[in-house]
Chain A
Amino acid sequence: MLDDLSLSVRRGEFVTLIGPSGCGKTTLLRLAAGLLTPDCGDVSLLGTSVAEATADKRIGFVPQSPALLPWRTVLDNVMLPLQVNRSVRPEVESDPVGLLTALGLGDALDRKPRELSGGMQQRVAIARAFVFDPPVLLMDEPFAAVDELTRETLRHELLSVWQASQKTVLFVTHSVAEAVYLSDRVVVMSAVTHGVQRVLDIPLTRPRDDLVETTGDFLDLERALRLELRAGSRAA
């Protein structure tokens, strides 16, 4: 489905993929996660193949829905990555309780997912991806299922947790504001060519906090991105 696409992401960079439905952004993310294998071409992460990167537990994946295991408590869900494929990277220092506390879930450690709101469940899914300290995070529209206000809070929280860690992130979204707020670069993808339409740099200084969203620079970038997306959909 993807055709003639080339994209490289620098270490520690936060890159967002945005575009209309059917442009292949989720496909691209799933290729990077090793959930799909390319018919041709190759994908490499940190100088190794995707297969080696997953075998080495270097990828944290956050799916569209929280996909928590309903029979496990919040804490046990976050512990899951530490419990599977255990021989790999046993030296990782993890602090699931601290992570959950930082995400505002310190009081919910022993609760089951069904007792939590959608936003809280998604926070647990984020903690699950951070807990084993993978250098790469792949996030597939992680905030698609929550309401707009929760969504804003979640992106602020994600950025503050990420800023402390400096992981390389590939983030798929439909939201213009989300893309501008989070990213170093935004990759606009086209539903016509199934490839990269344009790459926009987001030169906002880091660390960013939620005030940045009210600045003129932010609004200008948001407008530029929105116009780029419109140009793409007009071409279609």
Chain B
Amino acid sequence: MDAESSASRARQVAAGLRVGYWLPPALAVAALVLAWQVYAARHPYVLPRLSKIGSQLQARPELFARNALTTLEEALVGAACGMGAAFILAVLMFYVRVIERAIMPLAVVLNVTPLVAVAPALVVAFGFGMTPKYVIASLLVFFPFLVNALAGLRAVDPRALDVLTTLHASRAEVLWRLRLPSSLPYLFAAGRICMPLSLIGAVVAEFVAAGDAKGLGTLVVTASSLGDLGKVYAAVVVLALLGVAMFGFVVVLQRVVLGRFGPDDSAGA
């Protein structure tokens, strides 16, 4: 099994070096860049040239870094609160049917409500500080994490559960020694969905809390109202990088954690 997986890893490396592996995406990126530049040259007020975006980033890196940190904090704190609350609630719902019956319909309604529409009201309620950003980001990640955590808690090997039952293991012991480790792949899959969602939540909250001076979303709004497209797209590029970094963090964490505790360290990787 070990030899097999290292052989498949070697094959992956070999594939990475083959032209057929990296050429298609490279060509696609090149084509996109070319099309962008051609269009930007004709319509500079619709699309800024890439060089303009680059020079924006180069000219004021501390501006983008500072705002990126604010947005990142909003997204991460929001995601942590939302996922934490969803997980605790999932455990409660799993063990107490009445709670599931009571909460699930509300959670579904929360999920189908466009939270963008609620965001202005939340800003009114919580002011212009960080709080409404945390709240909106956590509301966005809440439902997907709840549903996945519930599925994960149910996804146990029924025969392993039989063994623990004959040992008269307590609920807490079954939760800790069987259900939690079994649910890890589900939790990480949810994490990969929730990280970009929390970033969306943070940016949307910044959009509606105009007048606030911080965050990449705010930067986008103020720059576009001034017609500074270079700055708008520079902020978008930074947001994309943030999204990639958050997603990548979950993937790396998943490899490390599932390698030690998970049902299968190759799950979903």
Subset of 10 A-B contacts with CB under 8 Å: A35-B162, A60-B166, A65-B159, A71-B260, A71-B261, A71-B262, A80-B177, A81-B167, A84-B164, A84-B168
Which A residues lie within 8 Å of B228 (CB)?
none
Contacting pair B168 A55 (CB below 8 A): yes
Q: Check if B162 sits within 8 Å of A33, measured CB to CB.
A: yes
Asked if B212 is at the interface of the complex by the 8 Å CB criterion, the answer is no
Residue of A nearest to B258 (CB): A71
Interface centre among A54, A55, A88, A138 (most CB of B within 10 A): A54
Cα of A115 to Cα of B5 in the assembled complex, Å: 11
In the complex, what residues of A have CB within 8 A of residue B2's CB? 115
CB distance B170 to A85 under 8 Å? Answer: yes
Q: Is the interface of B mostly helix, strand, loop or mixed?
A: helix
- A48-60 to B contact mask, C-beta < 8 Å, 1/0: 0000001111011
Tell yes or no: A123 within 8 A of B by CB. Answer: no
Is A64 close to B, CB under 8 A? yes
By a beta-carbon cutoff of 8 Å, the part of chain A in contact with chain B is 33-35, 54-57, 59-61, 63-65, 67-71, 80-81, 83-85, 88, 114-115, 128, 138
Residues of B within 8 A of A65 (CB): 157, 159
B162, B169, B263: the one contacting A85 at CB < 8 Å is B169
Q: Min CB distance, B257 to chain A, in Å? A: 10
| Contact residues of B between 9 and 48, Cβ < 8 Å to A | none
In the bound assembly, the distance between CA atoms of A64 and B162 in angstroms comes to 11
Option from A35, A69, A128 in Cβ contact (under 8 Å) with B165: A35
Checking B159, B177, B181, B262 against A67 with a beta-carbon cut-off of 8 angstroms, the contacting residue is B159
Number of residues from B at the complex interface, CB < 8 A: 23
Which are the 8 A-B pairs with shortest beta-carbon distances?
A67-B159, A63-B159, A84-B169, A61-B166, A67-B160, A54-B168, A84-B173, A70-B263
CB-defined contacts of B262 to chain A, threshold 8 Å:
70-71
A182 to chain B, nearest CB (A): 21
A65 CA / B157 CA spacing, docked (Å): 10
Total inter-chain residue pairs, C-beta < 8 Å: 70
Near A by CB (< 8 A), chain B positions 157-185 give 157, 159-160, 162-170, 173, 177-178, 181
Given A84-B173, A114-B264, also A69-B181 (CB < 8 A): yes
Does the CB pair B264–A54 fall under 8 Å? no
Contacts of B263 in A (CB 8 A): 70-71
Contact of B1 among A60, A80, A84, A115 (CB under 8 A): A115
Contacting pair B168 A85 (CB below 8 A): yes
B120-132: contact bitstring with A at CB < 8 Å (1 yes, 0 no)? 0000000000000
Q: Give Cα distance in the complex from A64 to B170, angstroms.
A: 23
Query: Which chain A positions have C-beta within 8 A of B164?
Result: 80, 84
Which residue in B166, B169, B173, B260 is a CB contact (below 8 Å) of A35? B166
Contact assessment for B165 and A84 in the assembled complex, using a CB-CB cutoff below 8 Å: no
Contact A54 B165 (CB under 8 A): yes
Contact residues in B for A59 (Cβ distance below 8 Å): 166
Which residue on chain B has the smallest CB distance to residue A63? B159
Q: How far is the CB of A159 from chain B (nearest CB, A)?
A: 22
Task: Given A54-B168, A85-B167, answer yes or no on A67-B162 (Cβ-Cβ < 8 Å).
Answer: yes
Min CB distance A13 to B, Å, is 20
Bound complex: CA A85 to CA B262 (Å): 23
Nearest-neighbour CB distance to chain B for A119, whole angstroms, equals: 15
Chain B residue, CB-CB nearest to A125:
B163
Tell me the nearest residue of chain B to A55, going by C-beta.
B168
Instruction: Contacts A70-B263, A71-B261, A115-B1 given; indicate if A88 touches B163 (C-beta within 8 A).
Output: no
Cβ–Cβ contact B163 & A61, under 8 A: yes
Residues of chain B in range 200-228 having any CB-CB distance to chain A below 8 Å: none
B159 contacts across to A, CB distance below 8 A: 63-65, 67
Please indicate the chain A residues that have their CB under 8 angstroms from the CB of B163 in the complex: 61, 63, 67, 80, 128
Residues of chain B contacted by A61 (CB below 8 angstroms): 162-163, 166
Task: Report the minimum CB–CB distance from B218 to chain A (whole Å).
Answer: 44
**What would 7 more interface pairs be, CB under 8 Å, given A35-B162, A61-B163, A71-B262?**
A33-B165, A35-B165, A59-B166, A65-B157, A67-B162, A67-B163, A114-B1
Q: Closest CB of chain B to A132's CB: distance in Å?
A: 8
> With the chains together, A60 CA to B162 CA distance in Å?
11
Q: Once the chains are docked, how many angstroms separate the CA of A126 from the CA of B139?
A: 47
